[in-house]
Amino acid sequence: MFKNILVVISLLFFAVHVNAQELNCTVQINSDQIQGSNKSVFNTLQKSITEFVNNRKWTELTFANTEKIECTFNITIKKVEDNLYTAEIQVQSRRPIFNSTYNSTLLNFKDNTFSFDYKEFDILEMNEATITSNLTAVIAYYAYIVIGYDMDSYSRLGGTSAFQAAESIVNAAQGANLSGWKAFENSRNRYALTSNLLDEAFKKYRNYFYEYHRLGLDEMSTNAVNARARIAEGLPILREANRARPSAIVISSFMDAKTDELVNVFSKAPTKEKTEAVQILSDVNPTQTARYESILK
Q: Which amino acid makes up residue 210?
A: Y
Confidence at residue 3, expressed as pLDDT on a 0 to 100 scale: 39
Q: What is the pLDDT of residues 7-46, one digit of tens each?
A: 333 434 433 444 579 999 999 999 999 998 778 999 999 9
Confidence at residue 9, expressed as pLDDT on a 0 to 100 scale: 38
Among the listed residues 110, 105, 41, the one whose alpha carbon sits nearest the alpha carbon of residue 75: 110
pLDDT band at 186; cut points 50, 70, 90: confident
% of the chain residues with pLDDT over 90: 82
Whether residue 147 is predicted with pLDDT greater than 60 in this model: the reply is yes
Angle between helices 190-197 and 249-266 (to 10 degrees): 70
pLDDT band at 4; cut points 50, 70, 90: very low
Whether residue 5 is predicted with pLDDT greater than 50 in this model: the reply is no
Give the residue-averaged pLDDT of 138-153.
98
Q: What's the alpha-carbon Rg for the chain, to the nearest Å?
A: 21
Q: What is the mean pLDDT of the chain?
A: 91
Encode the chain in three state secondary structure. CHHHHHHHHHHHHHHHHHHCCCEEEEEEEECCCCCCCCCHHHHHHHHHHHHHHHHCCCCCCCCCHHHCEEEEEEEEEEEEECCEEEEEEEEEEEEECCCCCCEEEEEEEEEEEEEEECCCCCCCCCCCCCCCCHHHHHHHHHHHHHHHHHHHHHCCCCCHHHHHHHHHHHHHHHHCCCCCCCCCCCCCCHHHHHHHHCCHHHHHHHHHHHHHHHHHHHHCCCCHHHHHHHHHHHHHHHHHHHHHCCCCHHHHHHHHHHHHHHHHHHCCCCHHHHHHHHHHHHHHCHHHHHHHHHHHC
Between CA 224 and CA 218 the distance in angstroms is 10
Confidence at residue 19, expressed as pLDDT on a 0 to 100 scale: 54
- Would you kindly state where each structural domain of the chain is located, as residue ranges? 199-297
Q: 285 or 62: whose pLDDT is higher?
A: 285
Give the residue-averaged pLDDT of 90-96.
98
pLDDT band at 184; cut points 50, 70, 90: confident
Please state the pTM of the whole predicted model. Answer: 0.92
Q: 238 or 176: whose pLDDT is higher?
A: 238
Asked whether 75 and 87 are in contact (CB, 8 A), the reply is yes
% of the chain residues with pLDDT over 70: 93
pLDDT band at 130; cut points 50, 70, 90: confident
Whether residue 72 is predicted with pLDDT greater than 70 in this model: the reply is yes
Q: What is the pLDDT of residues 222-264, one digit of tens each?
A: 999 999 999 999 999 999 999 999 989 999 999 999 999 999 9
Angle between helices 134-154 and 40-55 (to 10 degrees): 40
Asked whether 44 and 19 are in contact (CB, 8 A), the reply is no
